[in-house]
């Protein structure tokens, strides 16, 4: 443990890494403040450019983008009633009314402080909980991993606003995409259509860029003439002592809620923010003020969505199961740099893992100062015309995809999945389940094949393993819990 802590705090002794975190935090705040970009799109765009970096530096860039962009979504949510990231949607409900009353600086001050507390809390929990969970994961065999992956896929039902059925359809499509290429055991060619560049399957990086960055470009192209209402702000104000007395319980509650929801596979900051906001309203003595400018609403949402960032890294690093759409991109970055997520990461690469934890801690502290002293400046990036911004995003997407292998196939994948993501969004489907399904698809197939080998093809013996049976039961409950609760509610009424 001493070695791990030394690795965690070694970040402070590395000037280059500190400079990299600072620059990436500034970039993450800008990305998060621009409506439409967000942490996932930013991480997908930067992923190809991290390939020449050392593993710790590369993952530090991705995680720093994650935590800083998640916070920065509150800037536009408060000032122009447009969340810079989906996780800031709940912040609009009370942040913008506060800004309309001339209290934009106060709302941003509360958002910055709550976000920082939530982020730091979750990193501390991550540093403690991840090794403990890794010790448990050592006991997992292929049947347990197969059932756990099914549980992760079942959680896609509630990952976003698309609706349970649509999210599961997208997740199943992602799993189907994971079967492209030659089977690892039989070498049977699947969905290759004679193109041997697909022999090892789809390259994750261009797929991620297409689904998140390119599809968002196409969506934003339909909004070029959209007029946004803005609110002026003088300066960010630190919360007063009275403000702290009103929000401290809410912040602590949302820290716990956000971290817990982040740990659940495939949930992430958006769900955490909504639950944090709902619980803040439930326990508040001023419920009638919510939606009209309640500071507890801003604090509850922001503490929860930033706490979810550290929580989401727990299943990402320990089990290789994405805790959110952005951590799906981070998993790709880990695999590209030879850091295979799983329990062995905490014995073979413990120094690198804790250096990443330390970088996340530094990033949370840095965006505290950036948010307090430069939020007004960052808010001005929203004035960049979309007609200039999105061609730049298009160029970065194409260059990043091609630079990976200097292959035109990767460019075509970006364009194809850009249109796939665009049409999914246009018809009410979410693209995040596709990305997560693609990553989990390989785990499902591999662990099912290994389980069948263990049990000589007797598949029902998977259900006889206690842990596997528990995860499968949780998956079934996750899929049908809403229907069961609705039925009970109708009976009561």
Q: Please write the tens of the pLDDT for every residue from 97-110.
A: 888 887 888 888 88
**What is the 8-class DSSP label of residue 180?**
-
pLDDT band at 397 (very low <50, low <70, confident <90, very high): confident
| Strand partners of residue 190 | 181
Query: What is the rounded average pLDDT of the residues 277-281?
Result: 83
Q: What is the pLDDT of residue 483?
A: 66
Q: How far apart are the first and last CA of the chain?
A: 54
346: exposed, middle or buried (Cβ count in 10 Å: 0-12, 13-18, 19+): buried
Q: Tell me the C-alpha distance between 376 and 288, whole Å.
A: 30
| Strand partners of residue 254 | none
**How far is CA 151 from each of CA 63, 154, 160, 401, rounded to the nearest angstrom?**
25, 5, 17, 32
Which of 244, 233, 360 is CA-nearest to residue 309? 360
Q: Tell me the C-alpha distance between 105 and 232, whole Å.
A: 9
Domain housing 175: 2-492
**What is the 8-class DSSP label of residue 223?**
G
Residue matched to tokens 């393993």: 465
**What is the 8-class DSSP label of residue 51?**
T
Q: What is the pLDDT of residue 360?
A: 86
CA 268-249-311 angle, to 5 degrees, is: 20
230's enclosing H/E stretch is: none
Residue 162 has pLDDT above 70, yes or no: no
pLDDT band at 1 (very low <50, low <70, confident <90, very high): low
Residue matched to tokens 């690198």: 352
Which region holds residue 268: left if phi is over 0, alpha if psi is between -120 and 50, else beta? left
Residue 287 CB partners (closer than 8 Å, separation 6+): 281
Residue 183 has pLDDT above 60, yes or no: yes
pLDDT band at 419 (very low <50, low <70, confident <90, very high): very high
Give the pair of three-digit tokens for residue 174: 């992602």
Q: Tell me the C-alpha distance between 45 and 50, whole Å.
A: 10
In total, how many domains does the chain have? 1
pLDDT band at 365 (very low <50, low <70, confident <90, very high): confident
Q: Tell me the C-alpha distance between 209 and 400, whole Å.
A: 9
Name the percent of the chain lying above pLDDT 70.
Answer: 88
Q: What is the pLDDT of residue 294?
A: 83
Query: What is the rounded average pLDDT of the residues 318-334?
Result: 83
Residue 296 has pLDDT above 60, yes or no: yes
pLDDT digits (tens, 9 = 90+) for 217-249: 888 777 666 555 555 555 566 778 888 888 888
Q: Which of 182-196, 212-226, 269-283, 421-435 has the lowest mean pLDDT?
A: 212-226
Q: Tell me the C-alpha distance between 307 and 441, whole Å.
A: 28
Residue matched to tokens 């403990």: 132
Residue 82 has pLDDT above 70, yes or no: no
Question: In 3-state terms, what secondary structure has residue 181?
Answer: strand
The C-alpha R_g of the chain, in whole angstroms, comes to: 22
| Strand partners of residue 181 | 190
Burial 307-338 (b: 16+ CB within 10 A, else e): bbbbbbbbbbbbbbbbbbbbbbbbbbbbebbe
Which of 19, 20, 65 is CA-nearest to residue 42? 65
pLDDT digits (tens, 9 = 90+) for 7-54: 777 777 788 888 988 889 888 888 887 766 778 888 888 888 888 888
Q: Give the 3-state secondary structure of 22-39.
A: HHHHHHHHHHHHCCCCHH
Residue 185 has pLDDT above 80, yes or no: no
Q: What is the pLDDT of residue 423?
A: 92
**Per DSSP, which regions of 124-232 are E strands?**
181-182, 189-190
14: exposed, middle or buried (Cβ count in 10 Å: 0-12, 13-18, 19+): middle
Q: Tell me the C-alpha distance between 493 and 489, whole Å.
A: 6
Q: What is the pLDDT of residue 459?
A: 85
């Amino acid at each position: 443990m001493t070695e791990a802590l030394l690795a965690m705090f070694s970040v402070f002794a590395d000037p280059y890494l500190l400079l990299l975190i600072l620059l990436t935090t500034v970039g993450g705040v800008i990305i998060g403040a621009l409506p439409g970009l967000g942490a996932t799109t930013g991480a997908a765009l930067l992923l190809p450019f991290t390939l020449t970096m050392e593993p710790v530096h590369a993952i530090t860039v991705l995680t720093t983008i994650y935590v800083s962009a998640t916070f920065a979504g509150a800037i536009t949510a408060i000032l122009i009633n447009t969340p810079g990231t989906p996780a800031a949607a709940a912040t609009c409900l009370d942040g913008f009314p506060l800004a309309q009353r001339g209290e934009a600086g106060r709302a941003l001050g509360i958002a910055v402080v709550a976000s920082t507390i939530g982020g730091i809390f979750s990193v501390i929990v991550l540093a403690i909980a991840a090794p403990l969970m890794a010790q448990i994961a050592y006991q997992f065999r292929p049947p347990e991993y197969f059932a756990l992956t099914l549980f992760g896929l079942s959680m896609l039902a509630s990952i976003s606003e698309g609706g349970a059925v649509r999210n599961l359809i997208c997740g199943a499509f992602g799993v189907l995409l994971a079967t492209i290429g030659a089977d690892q055991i039989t070498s049977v060619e699947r969905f290759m259509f004679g193109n041997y560049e697909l022999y090892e399957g789809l390259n994750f990086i261009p797929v991620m860029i297409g689904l998140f960055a390119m599809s968002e470009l196409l969506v934003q192209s339909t909004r070029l003439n959209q007029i946004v209402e803005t609110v002026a702000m003088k300066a960010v104000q630190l919360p007063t002592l009275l403000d702290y007395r009103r929000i401290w319980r809410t912040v602590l509650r949302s820290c716990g809620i956000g971290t817990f929801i982040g740990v659940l596979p495939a949930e992430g900051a958006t769900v955490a923010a909504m639950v944090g906001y709902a619980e803040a309203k439930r326990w508040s003595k001023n419920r009638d003020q919510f939606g009209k400018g309640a500071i507890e609403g801003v604090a509850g949402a922001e503490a929860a969505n930033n706490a979810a960032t550290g929580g989401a890294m727990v299943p990402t690093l320990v089990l290789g199961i994405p805790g959110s759409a952005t951590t799906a991109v981070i998993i790709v970055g880990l695999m590209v740099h030879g850091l295979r997520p799983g329990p062995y990461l905490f014995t073979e690469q413990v120094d690198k893992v804790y250096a990443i934890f330390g970088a996340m801690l530094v990033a949370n502290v840095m965006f505290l100062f950036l948010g307090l002293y430069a939020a007004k400046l960052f808010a001005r990036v929203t004035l960049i015309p979309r007609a200039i911004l999105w061609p730049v995003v298009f160029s970065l997407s194409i260059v990043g995809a091609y630079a990976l292998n200097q292959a035109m196939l990767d460019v075509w994948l970006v364009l194809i999945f850009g249109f796939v993501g665009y049409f999914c969004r246009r018809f009410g489907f979410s693209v995040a389940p596709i990305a997560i399904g693609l990553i989990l698809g390989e785990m499902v197939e591999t662990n099912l094949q290994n389980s069948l080998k263990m049990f000589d093809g007797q598949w029902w013996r998977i259900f006889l393993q206690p842990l596997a049976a528990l995860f499968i039961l949780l998956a079934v409950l996750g899929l049908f819990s809403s229907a069961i609760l609705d039925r009970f509610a109708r009976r009561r009424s």
